[in-house]
Amino acid sequence: MKKPNVLLKSTMITTLLLSSTLLVTTPIYAHTENQQLSYKTLNDLLTDDGHSGWSYSGLTGPEYWGELSKDYKACSKGEEQSPIALHNEDTSNEKWSFDLDYEETEFSIENNGHTIQANVEGSSSNTLHLNNTEYNLVQFHFHSPSEHTLDDEYFEMEVHLVHQDHNANLAVLGVLIEEGEQNETLAGMWDLMPEDQGEATETITLNPSELVPSDLSTFQYDGSLTTPPCSEDVKWSVSDSTISLSSEQLQAFQDLYPNNYRPIQDLGNREVGFHY
Ligand SMILES: [Zn+2]
């Protein structure tokens, strides 16, 4: 991220020079708009593959994602975005039947610059059935604090188990994580997680069902990826109960990613369902 910052600085200096010329005739509130416009131009310059750098703060943070690339339009213009605020009163109607079947699986561990992610290695059978569609687990990763809120409360972390069907449609299971007992399942992964961007040399083997509360009930809704390009048609299931990790484990993650969450998005016309 160093390169864009240097470029950003020089562009901002240019913008400041331009703005000060404009300021002679324009009121001061035009400043923010200028900054946003100049940033669009900056990213046009930076984007040679159509995918711009994004982050969780400042001018590449969530409120600007939609401006960073034409591929990220859904981040600002989408109408079914994630995460959302969940409420325990939203527990009336089931949207989809839900069946989870996980097994012991080998994962590679990656620091991808936005989170720590475990990618399924080789073939495995970790299925999520929503109605008649079968989705297979591809990866899981973490956010801190949580992205979804429950009765307006944030949790220390949230794990997203990302599944794909054979048409590449996505279904994500989100599990909220609270500070408490040490998480033995995550201990091995935490030992391996790379401090810098890249993949750990060793893999881990675990059963992802250990990351899911045994008395799993889920909120269900249609949403999106919570990172650019914020693509929609993602089927979300979010657990209403939590798993735990120790304060040391929380600290170890936050040393790398203290703030990798997207703020709550409008529910709009969507209805949240619930599976017991
Ligand atoms: Zn996520």
Distance 222 CA to ligand 1 centre (A): 15
CB atoms closer than 10 angstroms to residue 218 = 26
pLDDT at 33 over 60: no
pLDDT at 14 over 70: no
Looking at the DSSP assignment, which residues form a beta bridge with residue 206? 105
Distance 88 CA to ligand 1 centre (A): 22
Q: Which two tokens stand for residue 160?
A: 């997203």
DSSP 151: T
pLDDT at 212 over 60: yes
Q: For the chain, how are helix, strand and coil distributed in percent, rounded to 5?
A: 30, 30, 40
Give residue 90's pLDDT: 78
Distance 215 CA to ligand 1 centre (A): 22
Distance 41 CA to ligand 1 centre (A): 28
Give percent of the chain with pLDDT exceeding 90.
77
Measured distance CA(161)–CA(138) in Å, rounded: 8
Whether cis (ω within 30° of 0) applies to the bond prior to 145 is: yes
Comparing CA positions, the residue from 132, 127, 192 lying closest to residue 164 is 127
Q: Which two tokens stand for residue 87?
A: 């409420």
The pTM score is 0.82
Residues whose beta carbons lie less than 5 angstroms from ion ligand 1: 160
| Domains annotated on the chain, with CATH | 2-71 (no CATH), 85-275 (3.10.200.10)
Measured distance CA(253)–CA(179) in Å, rounded: 12
Strand pairing class (170-179; 232-245): parallel
Distance 159 CA to ligand 1 centre (A): 7
Give residue 26's pLDDT: 35
Give residue 52's pLDDT: 66
In the chain the beta strands, taken as DSSP E runs, fall at: 85-86, 98-101, 105-111, 116-120, 127-130, 133-143, 149-150, 157-164, 170-179, 198-206, 218-224, 232-245, 273-275
* 92, burial (CB in 10 Å: exposed 0-12, middle 13-18, buried 19+): exposed
